[in-house]
Amino acid sequence: MELTKLTAPEFQSMIIAGADRLTKNVDLINSLNVFPVPDGDTGTNMNMSFISGVEKLKENSSKHVGESSTALAKGLLMGARGNSGVILSQIFRGFSKAIEDQENVDSKYFVKAFAGGVESAYKAVMKPVEGTILTVARESALAGERAAKNTTDIIEIMRAIVKGASIALDKTTEMLPVLKQVGVVDSGGKGLLCIYEGFLSSLTGEVIISEDHSKKSDAHSHAVFEETNEHPMSMDDITYGYCTEIMVHIGHGPTVEREFDYDEFRNILNEKGDSLLVVSDEEIAKVHIHTENPGEIMQLGQEFGELIKIKVDNMREQVRELENANEALSHQQTAAVTNKDYAVIAVAAGEGMTEMLKSIGIDVVLSGGQTMNPSTQDFVQAMEATPAERYILLPNNKNIIMAAQQAVEVIEKPAVVVPTRTVPEGISAIFAFDAEATIEDNQSAMNENIKMVSTGQITYAIRDTNLDGVEILKDEFMGIVDGKIILSEPAVDRALFNTLDNMINDESEIVTIFIGDGGKEELVDQIINELEETYADVDFEVIQGDQPVYEYIMSVE
C-alpha cells in the first residue's frame, strides 16, 4: 500500500492513534523520570496536554488538513502542562504552521511539518539540552527528510521517522549523565516516540511493537486518566464529589487480605468513580479517583497494603467557594469598583501553603506543584477570572515556568512571569512587589529578590541511584538544596537537621520551615532546638503548609 496524499480524515485518525498509544504508555513514561522522588509525571503531563489537543481536533469537522492541524495545535497550546507538555505543544505548533494552507498533505509537506515542529520547539527553549525530547524530535525529522529524498510514500517516510526517533531515544542514555547514572532513556523522548508509533500504526493498520525502554524488572501497570476536568467550574461538571488520592504500601500492614494484582485492583476501582489514575510498581500503588465514597477507596487500599498517603478534596465545596467568590466579584463590579492595577497569580500545593500565600497578597493560588502541574489554560482562565490591568505570574516550580510563559503570550493584557522555582522563592518575590511601579520594574525587582532565598526540601527516594555524587537508597530521605541533592539519610530527622545545617551560614537571618502533610510539628521543634545551640542569632519560623510530596520545605534568608 502506498500513500502519497494525506487527507483530513486520515490525518485525524493518525493523531487519535498517537494519543491512544501515548495514553497506554503513561505509567511507563512516568517511570522513566530519573529524579528519584515520587514525582514521575512526564507521561501524565504529556498525555493530558495531547488529549487537550485531540479534543479540540474532534470539535473541528473540517476536511482541510491544515485547519484540523491548527485546531490540534490550539488545543495543545491551551492544555499544555509541565515542561514536556509545553515542548510537545510547541512541536505541534510548528508542525501545524508548516501545513496550515494544505487541504491535503503530500510527502514534501509531510516532512516539512515535522521539521517545522523541531524549529518551533528549539526556539521555545532558551537553553536547549540534548538527550531530551528535543533530540528525539530533531533526529526523527531528519530521518524523515532523508527518506523523502527517495520516496513520495508517506507511510515509508513515517516508518523512517519512527526508526529515527527510536535510535535517537536509545542514544539519550549516553547523552545526559543523569540518564546514564540511572540507566534509563529520556521520558519525554519516549512519549514522543509513542505518539509517532501511533501515527504509523494508523497509516499502516499494523500493530507497532516497540522496544522496552524501561529498566524495571516488573511490567508496569497501565494508567488511564479518563477525564481531565480536575478543576470543576460548576456543579454540572461533577459526577462524583470527592477527589480522592491514596498511596498504598503493597503487602504491608495488619489489614492485608489478599495479594496485590494490578488488574483486579484497577477493575474494582473503575466501578467506584471516574477520573481514575492508577500507577504501581512492586511496592507502591498510587490511586487518584473521583468518587462519592472516599472511605470505600481507603478500605479497598487497606486490603492490599498499608495507606501511607491520603488526600481527599470535596469538589462540590470547591465549586461553592468558587461560586461565592464569583458572586462577590459580581457585586464588586455592580458597585462600579474598578479593576485592580495588578493581579498576582501563584501556584502552590497544600491548604496551608495556599492560605499563607493569600495572606501576603497573592490574589489567586492555582493548585499544583511538583505533580499535577497547571496548564497554560489554567493560567489564562485565572487571569480572565481576575479583573486587573496587569498580571504577574509566580509558577513556584521549574516544571510550570514554560506553561506560565506560554499563557502570557496568549492573554491580551500586559503580563509577565517571574520564574520562581519554589514557594519560598515566590514569597521572596512578592515582598519586592510595588503596586506603584511599572510591570517591568516589578519583574526586575522580583527577579532580584528570589536570589536572596535558598530553598531546601526533604522527601523520600523511590529508587536506588547515585546522583551528584550522593549514594541514594530507596525509601531514604533526601535533602535537596536549590534543586541539587546534597544528602540521603535513613532517618528523616537527620535529613532535616543536616540539610538545614548545610543551608545556614553566618549571613543567615531567618529560617522558615513549611511542614508538609507527611511532616510532624514535634520533629520540627526538636530540630530547631538542636540548631539554636549553634545558630543563636537566627530566627526560626514554622508554617503548616500541608504540601504533598515534600515532608518539609525550608527557606533560608
Q: What is the pLDDT of residues 245-294, one digit of tens each?
A: 787 888 888 899 888 887 788 789 888 987 666 665 566 676 778 899 99
pLDDT of residue 271: 87
The arithmetic mean of pLDDT across residues 463-481, rounded, is: 85
Residue 194 pLDDT greater than 50, yes or no: yes
**Which cell numbers hold the place of 160?**
523512517
pLDDT of residue 282: 65
pLDDT confidence bin for 124, thresholds 50/70/90: confident
Are 242 and 299 contacting, i.e. CB atoms less than 8 angstroms apart?
no
Are 233 and 322 contacting, i.e. CB atoms less than 8 angstroms apart?
yes
Are 196 and 1 contacting, i.e. CB atoms less than 8 angstroms apart?
no
pLDDT of residue 223: 30
Q: Which of 98-107, 250-259, 290-299 has the highest mean pLDDT?
A: 98-107
Average pLDDT, the chain: 86
Are 188 and 209 contacting, i.e. CB atoms less than 8 angstroms apart?
no
For every residue of 50-73, which 3-state class applies, written as one string? HHHHHHHHHHCCCCCHHHHHHHHH
pLDDT of residue 221: 31
Residue 183 pLDDT greater than 90, yes or no: no
Q: What is the per-residue pLDDT across 69-91, written as a single tens digit (0 to 9) for each?
A: 999 999 998 888 888 888 999 99
**Which cell numbers hold the place of 59?**
470539535
How many residues belong to the chain? Answer: 557
**Which cell numbers hold the place of 318?**
470547591
pLDDT confidence bin for 145, thresholds 50/70/90: very high
CB atoms within 10 A of CB 409: 10
- Give CA 449 to chain center in angstroms: 26
Q: What is the per-residue pLDDT across 310-320, written as a single tens digit (0 to 9) for each?
A: 777 787 877 77
Q: What is the per-residue pLDDT across 60-69, written as a single tens digit (0 to 9) for each?
A: 888 999 999 9
What residues contact 225, with CB distance under 8 A and at least 6 apart?
A: 23, 26, 44, 47, 48, 51, 275, 276, 277
Q: Which residue's entry shows cell 529520556?
A: 186
CB atoms within 10 A of CB 156: 18
pLDDT of residue 212: 52
| Residue 182: its H or E element | helix 177-182
Can you tell me the distance from the alpha carbon of 301 to that of 286, in angstroms, rounded to the nearest whole number? Answer: 10
Residue 169 or residue 237, greater confidence: 169
**Which cell numbers hold the place of 48?**
493530558
Q: Which pTM value belongs to this model? A: 0.69
The arithmetic mean of pLDDT across residues 366-383, rounded, is: 86
pLDDT of residue 265: 87
Are 391 and 343 contacting, i.e. CB atoms less than 8 angstroms apart?
yes
pLDDT confidence bin for 9, thresholds 50/70/90: very high
Q: What is the per-residue pLDDT across 323-370, written as a single tens digit (0 to 9) for each?
A: 676 566 555 444 444 568 999 999 998 889 999 999 999 999 998 877
Residue 31 pLDDT greater than 80, yes or no: no
Q: What is the per-residue pLDDT across 392-451, written as a single tens digit (0 to 9) for each?
A: 999 999 889 999 999 999 899 999 999 999 999 999 999 999 999 999 999 999 999 999
pLDDT above 90 coverage of the chain, percent: 59
What Å distances lie between residue 162 and 27, 38, 195, 211, CA to CA?
21, 30, 9, 12
Q: What is the per-residue pLDDT across 211-243, written as a single tens digit (0 to 9) for each?
A: 555 443 333 332 322 333 344 455 666 788 888
What Å distances lie between residue 430 and 155, 342, 358, 376, 547, CA to CA?
53, 12, 11, 22, 20
pLDDT of residue 336: 41
Q: Which of 202-211, 293-302, 546-555 has the lowest mean pLDDT?
A: 202-211
Are 88 and 46 contacting, i.e. CB atoms less than 8 angstroms apart?
yes
pLDDT of residue 523: 95
**Which cell numbers hold the place of 371?**
505533580
pLDDT of residue 467: 78
Can you tell me the distance from the alpha carbon of 7 to that of 250, in angstroms, rounded to the nearest whole number? Answer: 49
Residue 123 pLDDT greater than 60, yes or no: yes
Can you tell me the distance from the alpha carbon of 238 to that of 308, in angstroms, rounded to the nearest whole number? Answer: 27
